């Protein structure tokens, strides 16, 4: 059981009743932000788990996770992220971003020897929301093998409804399928949706500021499929600006040896004021 993965997964929630209105078109992939998230923390995990630093224009210039397990310099071409460079030894991997117009279409992970060993491909709905994210990993000398597919569906208001994950049998990874359904969104700003794309500590953190998969904060997350399943109900506290300060959750295991038992989870957020 990956507690960190479970704590991150419930960042998207869906309203039980459908929201009215047309789906908003996401903004171009600009790195600037009026909300400057500083840290995200979970009990019993390295602290700060996520940390960000900014320039005067609100662009993230440094990002890290797991108390420095990965530390990245972020470089821009205009308003778009050009690359993220891992500064931790011995990696020095570079995450190279590629665009078609305003939309991010791929990320290539290149090691210090110049070898592209992992890559991602992004596809979008007609309303420019992220629809599919495919990861491939280099498979010996025969090219790339499918590693993971993430599929996204949305409510009419633009908040994520379901995130379906398919992990393929490649290397030591066992094939699995599971889905997270998000319900009962609040009307406050979301600051941590990026972590749904960064699902474990074995892979690089990557930022996609122009992709808005979650506008608000979920109050419920239901995991079904292979592996451990659960339901989580959340409550939030906010600051005077409506930014989340803490998220507290009651997690109910729905499979495995702990099925029927409850587990309390909490996330805290801090900002540069």
**Domain locations in the chain?**
3-271
- Does residue 29 have a pLDDT over 70? no
Measured in degrees and rounded to the nearest 5, phi and psi for residue 10 equal: -80, 30
- Find the farthest-apart pair of alpha carbons in the chain and give their distance in angstroms, rounded: 55
| CATH assignment of 3-271, among 2.170.150, 1.10.150, 2.60.40, 2.40.160 | 2.40.160
Note the pLDDT tens digit of each residue in 211-250: 999 999 999 999 999 999 999 999 999 999 999 999 999 9
- The pTM (predicted TM-score) of the whole model is 0.86
Separation of alpha carbons 196 and 20, rounded Å: 25
Q: Which of 25-34, 166-175, 179-188, 192-201 has the lowest mean pLDDT?
A: 25-34
Q: Among 87, 44, 43, which Cα is nearest to 63's?
A: 87
User: Bridge-partner residues for 162, per DSSP?
Assistant: 153, 181
pLDDT digit string (tens) for 78-127? 999 999 999 997 889 999 999 999 899 999 999 999 999 999 999 999 99
Q: Where are the alpha helices (DSSP H) in the chain?
A: 3-8
With a cut of 70, say whether residue 23 has pLDDT above it: no
Rg for the chain, CA atoms, rounded: 18
The pLDDT of residue 32 is: 59
Report the distance separating Cα 260 and Cα 244, nearest Å: 29
In the predicted model, what is the mean pLDDT of residues 26-48? 77
Which pLDDT band holds residue 14 (cuts at 50, 70, 90)? very low
Convert the pLDDT of each residue in 88-98 to its tens digit.
978 899 999 99
Cα gap 259→251, rounded to integer Å: 11
Average pLDDT on 251-271 reads 97
CA 181/CA 163 separation, integer angstroms: 7
């Amino acid at each position: 059981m990956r507690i960190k993965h479970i704590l991150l997964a419930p960042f998207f929630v869906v309203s039980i009743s459908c929201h009215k209105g047309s789906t908003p078109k996401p903004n171009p992939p600009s790195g600037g932000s009026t909300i400057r998230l500083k840290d995200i923390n979970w009990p019993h995990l390295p602290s700060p788990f996520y940390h960000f630093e900014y320039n005067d224009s609100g662009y993230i210039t440094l990002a890290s996770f797991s108390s420095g397990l990965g530390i990245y310099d972020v470089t821009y071409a205009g308003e778009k992220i050009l690359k993220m460079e891992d500064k931790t030894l011995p990696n020095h991997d570079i995450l190279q971003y590629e665009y078609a117009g305003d939309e991010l279409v791929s990320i290539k992970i290149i090691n210090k020897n110049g070898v592209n060993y992992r890559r991602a491909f992004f596809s979008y709905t007609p309303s420019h929301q992220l629809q599919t994210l495919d990861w491939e990993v280099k498979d010996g000398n025969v090219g790339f093998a499918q590693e993971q597919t993430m599929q996204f569906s949305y409510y009419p208001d633009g908040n994520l409804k379901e995130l379906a994950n398919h992990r393929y049998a490649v290397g030591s990874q066992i094939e699995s399928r599971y889905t997270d359904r998000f319900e009962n969104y609040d009307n406050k700003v979301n600051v941590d949706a990026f972590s749904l794309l960064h699902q474990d500590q074995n892979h690089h953190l990557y930022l996609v500021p122009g992709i808005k998969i979650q506008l608000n904060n979920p109050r419920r997350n239901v995991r079904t499929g292979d592996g451990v399943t659960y339901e989580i109900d959340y409550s939030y506290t906010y600051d005077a600006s409506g930014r989340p300060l803490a998220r507290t959750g009651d997690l109910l295991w729905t499979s495995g040896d702990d099925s029927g038992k409850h587990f309390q989870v909490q996330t805290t957020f801090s900002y540069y004021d």
